[in-house]
Amino acid sequence: MSEENNSAANPGAAVRSNPYGPNPQDFLSNVGNFQLIESTLREGEQFANAFFDTEKKIEIAKALDEFGVDYIELTSPAASEQSRKDCEAICKLGLKAKILTHIRCHMDDAKLAVATGVDGVDVVIGTSQFLRQYSHGKDMNYIAKSAVEVIEYVKSHNIEIRFSSEDSFRSDLVDLLNIYRTVDKIGVNRVGIADTVGCANPRQVYELVRTLKSIVSCDIECHFHNDTGCAIANAYTALEAGANLIDVSVLGIGERNGITPLGGLMARMIAADRDYVMSKYNLTKLRDLENLVAEAVQVNIPFNNPITGFCAFTHKAGIHAKAILANPSTYEILSPSDFGLTRYIHFANRLTGWNAIKSRVEQLNLPLTDDQCKEVTNKIKALGDIRSLNIDDVDSVIREFHAEVNPEAGATDGEPASKKQKTEENGN
C-alpha cells in the first residue's frame, strides 16, 4: 500500500496501524513507492574479491530478475572488452528488469554503451573540489557542456538516461543545483545523488534530497556508501525526502565496505510498508541470492546480517523468550516467514527463563507442572553457569528431572519432538 493511498483514504490511519511506517505528513515520501537499481554487477564488481565471468554474471542477473529488482546495472563496456561483450549478452536475456550500464561522462563511453543494447545509461561525473582537482581536473562549465552532449546523444537513441554527480555531499550546493537543473531541462529521466565516500548522515540526506526535489521535475536516484554504517538509514531517509530510486547490491558489495545492501534495505522497507514490499519483491529468494553472490566473491554471510544472519531471528534472554512465545510481535519487527525462514528460541544457556524451558518441556512431550518447570530451570541455569550448554544438555537435564518426578515414565519419551526442534534450529 503506498503512502499516498493510505493518507488519502484515511488520514492518520498509517500512524495508528503502523507507528514506525511512513509519516502521512511527509507528502513527498516515497517510502511506499520506490524502485531498486541493483548494482551487484557494476558497483559489486568493484568489490575487492569480485571476479565474475560471463556465466556467473548471467546466473546473478537471472537471480536478481527472479527476486524482482526494477533495474540491473552493469559495468561500463569501456572497462574492458569482456565487460562490453557481457553487457550485450545480458541485454539479450530478455529479463523483466531493465538493463543499465554505468559510464563516465565521455562520448566514447556513451557510444559503446548505446551499442550494447541497454535500456538505459547511467552517466556519472565527479563534482566535488576533491574529484575535480585530483581525478578528472575539469571545471563546472566543462562538466555541464560534456553532460549535455552525452545526454542528448543517449536520448536520441530513445533509451533512458540518468545524470549523477559523484561525491555529491562534498560538492558545492550551487554548482550541484545548477547542473541538475540544466540536465533536468534537457530531459533526463532521473538525476542521481551519490555519497561516494560514505560520509553523509540522515538529516543531511533529507535536506539535500528535499532541496533537489524543489529544483527538478525528473526522478531522483540515490547511491550511498557504507563507510560510516549509515547506508541503509540514508536510503530510507532519502525516500522520505522524495527520492524514489535506490542503488543496492547483494550484501552491499562494492568499493571499500560497499553500499546499501539489498537485504538490509528490504528489512528497513518491510518494517515501513510491508504490503508494497511483499507485492513487488520475491523475498523468499533473498537467502539463495545472498548465498549465490557470497560464494561467487568468496565471503561468508556476516553473522549479524539483517534477515539472513544466523542469529537474526534468535531470542535468548529469559524475558524475551517468554514474551516471544506469547506473541512474536513483542520482540520482532520482521516476520521470519516473510523470508521463508523460521524463528529460534535459544533456551540452552544461563540467561534462560522458565517460560522458554516450559516450551521445550512441551516440545519434548514430558509433562511437568509450572512449579516443576521453575525447579528444572534453576538446575539448567546452574549448569549454564559452569559451562556453555547445547540443546542435548538441556534435554538430558529435563529428562532426568522428569524421570525423578515421574518414576513410571520411560527415558525415551519425546525423541521425535527433539528431532523436529533440531530441524528448526538448522533452518535459521
- Nearest distance from C-beta of residue 280 to a second copy, angstroms: 18
- The Cα–Cα gap between 51 and 86 comes to 13
- Nearest distance from C-beta of residue 305 to a second copy, angstroms: 7
- Nearest distance from C-beta of residue 127 to a second copy, angstroms: 12
**Amino acid found at 227:** D
106 is catalytic: no
- Nearest distance from C-beta of residue 156 to a second copy, angstroms: 26
List, as one string, the DSSP characters of 49-103.
T----HHHHHHHHHHHHHHT-SEEEE--TTS-HHHHHHHHHHHTT--SSEEEEEE
Q: Which residues contact 289 (CB under 8 A, 6 or more apart)?
A: 63, 64, 67, 250, 262
Q: Which residue's CB is nearer to a second copy, number 16 or number 419?
A: 16
- The Cα–Cα gap between 204 and 234 comes to 9
Q: Which residue's CB is nearer to a second copy, number 392 or number 415?
A: 392
Q: Which residue's CB is nearer to a second copy, number 23 or number 182?
A: 23
- Nearest distance from C-beta of residue 140 to a second copy, angstroms: 17
- The Cα–Cα gap between 45 and 254 comes to 7
Q: Which residue's CB is nearer to a second copy, number 72 or number 265?
A: 265
Q: Which residue's CB is nearer to a second copy, number 46 or number 282?
A: 46
How many other C-beta atoms can be found within 10 angstroms of the C-beta atom of residue 130?
15
Burial of 260 from C-beta contacts in 10 A (0-12 / 13-18 / 19+): buried
- Nearest distance from C-beta of residue 325 to a second copy, angstroms: 9
Q: What is the CA radius of gyration of the chain?
A: 26
Q: Which residue's CB is nearer to a second copy, number 303 or number 371?
A: 303
Q: Which residue's CB is nearer to a second copy, number 146 or number 196?
A: 196
- Nearest distance from C-beta of residue 303 to a second copy, angstroms: 4
Burial of 317 from C-beta contacts in 10 A (0-12 / 13-18 / 19+): middle
Max Cα-Cα span within the chain:
91
- The Cα–Cα gap between 297 and 49 comes to 5
Q: Which residue's CB is nearer to a second copy, number 50 or number 95?
A: 50
- The Cα–Cα gap between 260 and 233 comes to 9
**Amino acid found at 168:** S
**Active-site entry in 225, 315, 320, 346:** 320
Q: Which residues contact 55 (CB under 8 A, 6 or more apart)?
A: none
| Cα torsion 182, 185, 188, 190: sign | positive
- Nearest distance from C-beta of residue 402 to a second copy, angstroms: 22
- Backbone torsions φ then ψ of 352, nearest 5 degrees: -60, 160
Burial of 325 from C-beta contacts in 10 A (0-12 / 13-18 / 19+): middle
CB of 91 within 8 A of CB of 120?
no
Residues, the chain: 428
- The Cα–Cα gap between 269 and 259 comes to 16
Which of 251, 257, 344 has its CA nearest to residue 302? Answer: 251
Residues annotated catalytic, as ranges = 320
